[in-house]
Amino acid sequence: MDTAALKYAVLGHPVAHSLSPEIHNSFFKLTGYNGVYYAFDVEPEKLGEIVQMLKKDFCGFNLTIPFKEKIIPYLDYIDDAAKKSGSVNTVAVRSGKLYGYSTDGAGLAGALKKEGIMLKDKSVLLIGSGGVARAALFEALRNSCSVCIAARNTGASSLLAADVKTFFGKAVDVCSLDEITGHYDIMINCTPVGMHPNTEGIPVTAETLEKCNVVFDTVYSPRNTKLLQLAKKLGKKTIGGINMLVLQGIASQEIWRGEAFSNEDKDKIIKMLSPENIILTGFMGSGKTTVGKMLAEKLGMDFVDADKEIEKKENKTISDIFADCGQEYFRRVETEVLKEICGKKGQVISTGGGAVLKSANVAVMKNSGKVIFLDVPAQEIKCRLENDDTRPVLQANSFDAVYAERIEIYKQTADKIFCGTDSKELAEEIYDFLNNIKRGE
């Protein structure tokens, strides 16, 4: 470790899920800054103790749940945005004194802007009444939005509304989660419901989501929460919390380092942090679609079926494409579609059985993420395909010949091979494997 590196940290409880060290250390490296960033899991009653240590040895730190409000009594200075929102997520240490700021609002507005949505004059449904909700409320009111705060704890949300009245001279509506009425341009979830490791939770009902045009979830782990998945099924535009996290983090560094960073540098970090694709290969009938959907749900990622995308592009079934245009034409379209799909990140992709036959396809897949081969025994696949007459390759060739031609290619082109016949078990094994990689095991 470089003993001359300037030290920074995030305080939270829990904090193991935090991406802040990855974001900040990556940004230090990208900008050539000699800094190092830590994550400290702090018991709430120990906050004062660790703050004293940070005042002596650190240049700055961030706060996450549950410290965005608890840190305020320890500060020597608090800026206007943090004071009005009653929430601090960034502290700069200067000559032994603590200066508190809020960059959550800037991160929220920036994340919306990246999706082409301006916060100005919108109607906003805010879910929650904690530190994140306070920062989001301040930013919304600063942009002349009309706001309704819906929370489980109506006492806390009423106090928040009273603070707003004091600072802005403006009233906001308050209700419980089961009393939400009206329609809204944007819903912002500011609660930790749905956050890792308790990823099954959803803070509002489908009925509430139907009343909102855009659903923004400040939770970033997992990237695609159950809330976002449900909203997407209902046809709503969805936005996850990762860009907000990155942008508020970079705003923290601008405070600590006293310099502004370019949009280009910000975009580089966002791209670096996007999870790579998981591409499933295997013989037809090996369960790539079934396993892929299960895996995508567990990982909180989008699922894409390459063959379905080809059918959409051509407005024909795979069988009809083969019949009308031939296999060579199909393979050309397949390559085009794979390039398009793999140009995005954060997806589980199911490929067609013959996708690995072209080296160009393999190169595209490997550059996009991890290629995983589902090695299902030949006899099992034969049984699955016994009454399936939708496979044009098998109508022109014997199963054994096609399988023999492809099996070694699948193995040679895969980054990892998983064997088995149970789709649920395969999805579980792949999920565990990917999590172990993330933990460095």
Question: Known catalytic residues?
Answer: 68
By C-alpha distance, which of 31, 437, 4 is closest to 257? Answer: 31
CA dist 198 and 193 (Å) reads 8
DSSP state of 112: H
258: left (phi over 0), alpha (psi -120 to 50) or beta: left
CA dist 330 and 375 (Å) reads 24
CA dist 182 and 122 (Å) reads 14
Contact in structure between 101 and 49 (CB atoms under 8 Å): no
